[in-house]
Amino acid sequence: MRRAHSVEQLRAAEKASMASLPEGALMQRAATGLAYAVIDLLRERHGSAYGRRIVLLVGSGDNGADALYAGAVLARRGAQVEAWLLSDRVHAGGRAALTAAGGHCVGQESTPVEPDERRRARLETTTVDVVIDGIVGIGGTPGLRPEAESALAALAGIPVVSVDTPSGVGVDTGEIDGSHVSADLTVTFGTHKPCHLLDPAASACGKVRLVDIGLDLPTPAIESLEAADVAALVPRPAPDGHKYTRGVVGLRVGSATYPGAALLAVSGANTGLAGMVRYVGTAAEWVKRRNPEVVGDGQAQAWVVGSGSADGANSALAFARASGVPLVIDADSLRPLTGPLGVPAILTPHAGELAALIGEDRRDIEARPLHYARLAAKRFQAVVLLKGRRTTIASPDPDTPVRVNTTGTSWLATAGSGDVLGGLIGSLLAAGLAPIDAASAGAWLHGAAASLAASGGLDTRERREGPVTASGVAAAIPAVIRSLPAVSPVHR
């Protein structure tokens, strides 16, 4: 499980830790971890850090101090380190350490920002190999000041390593408002921050490397499942189990206009995770021809409604609600919702569908997925799975961490993939998973299956991805489940 803690949580943990450690110990741990991450990057690109030129962009916060102390470590390893001071209040100890190690600082306290023409003149005669972004700390607000924008413009095209978070992004919200750093690598300390997982800020982080600095942390604000977590959640048949004990999932989806939606939703449900799949709708003959094991109407432990249902969406939702069992509500069946449903439910909108549902602008929802997923979960008292590059899954319980799914590929943006996801989540819900677990495990499996279908194999070391179809994603789900780590019965 990747866990992300808020700025407030992190500061409380750091304060508790510093009470029992020598002064500056946490900063030295962070700076050393940062320095060795940069060394590893330079080794990958150039074979060694020795002789390489590194520019530090240093602000007044702790991230600037981390950059300075890391610069001192790098200078002692033979790198040419120059700090561009973007504030007249940079960390004195860090600056002294860099200078003592042979590094160079540009910018005086009286004139912290060096003229652009002097920067550019130096850059024309030397090559910078990497930039370390220590401009703004985790307490900063979105956006950058002009002096930072100017420095970044002078260094455009050079690989950037951000300290803790890319400067200028919303750390707790994942939001972006104004200029910001786009990093190739972000080195973070103690724990992930929400912006490392949440879009749109996550797209600015590049690769994220976590350095353990020994913090005792509480329940996270945000979390992201990994393969071992999904393996522990995926339902597996008991030795004495049968089709009914494994769960029965029902689908009322599709229509004469969109029969393919029914086939795709059933293909997502009919992956072997539930003991029986029922289908009720206008595409019954097509479904049975493609999936002869699928049966008709009857009792179910969960219902999936809405995908391609067109004019039948309202009646499908009304029937499913009356059954009293958990629901997965997608697409057309989202439209009639006005408040809590009275049964456990998972809503699976994309940004446009959620915008129509709650009366907001789609662009605002795409810019603030965490905010709007939480808002909708509270309003409808349901788990809300807001689809996107980083799908965001919020529970109506404010004490339950929001989950963000990080599996998948851009090739997954294809017609019908959401129908497959709805059916897959429905099968997990019918098999007995709690709504938050069914939604997040389903999203993980769906994204992993898309990556498998796009690459043609489970070996990701030299994976090259290509186009996928929704049908191909559904077909890859069983292979992804087989590839999950083994789980000890003690931990199930």
Q: Per the annotation, where are the binding residues?
A: 62-66, 133, 137-143, 164, 167, 261, 308, 350, 387-391, 418-419
Identify which of 106, 91, 89, 87 has the alpha carbon closest to the alpha carbon of residue 28. 91
What whole-number distance in Å separates Cα of residue 412 and Cα of residue 406? 13
In the block, tokens 């590059």 appear at 389
Helix, strand, coil percentages, rounded to 5, for the chain: 40, 15, 45
| 3-class SS string, 117-158 | HHHHHHHHHCCCCEEEEECCCCCCCCCCCHHHHHHHHHCCCC
What are the φ and ψ backbone dihedral angles of 394, each rounded to 5 degrees? -115, 140
CB 169 within 8 A of CB 206: no
Angle at 30 between CA 65 and CA 135, to 5 degrees: 35
Angle at 69 between CA 65 and CA 74, to 5 degrees: 140
What are the φ and ψ backbone dihedral angles of 279, each rounded to 5 degrees? -130, 135
H helix or E strand, kind and range, residue 195: helix 194-197
Looking at 216-353, which runs of residues are DSSP E strands?
A: 222-224, 248-252, 276-279, 302-305, 327-329, 345-347
What whole-number distance in Å separates Cα of residue 277 and Cα of residue 264? 13
Through-space distance between the first and last CA atoms of the chain, rounded to whole angstroms: 16
CB 403 within 8 A of CB 440: yes
Other C-beta atoms within 10 Å of 398: how many? 10
Write out the binding residues for (6S)-NADPHX: 62-66, 137-143, 164, 261, 308, 350, 419
Where are the alpha helices (H) located in 291-394, listed in sequence order?
313-323, 351-358, 362-367, 369-380
- Written as six digits, the tokens of 197 are 């997982």
Write out the binding residues for K(+): 63, 133, 167
Write out the binding residues for AMP: 387-391, 418
H helix or E strand, kind and range, residue 233: helix 227-233
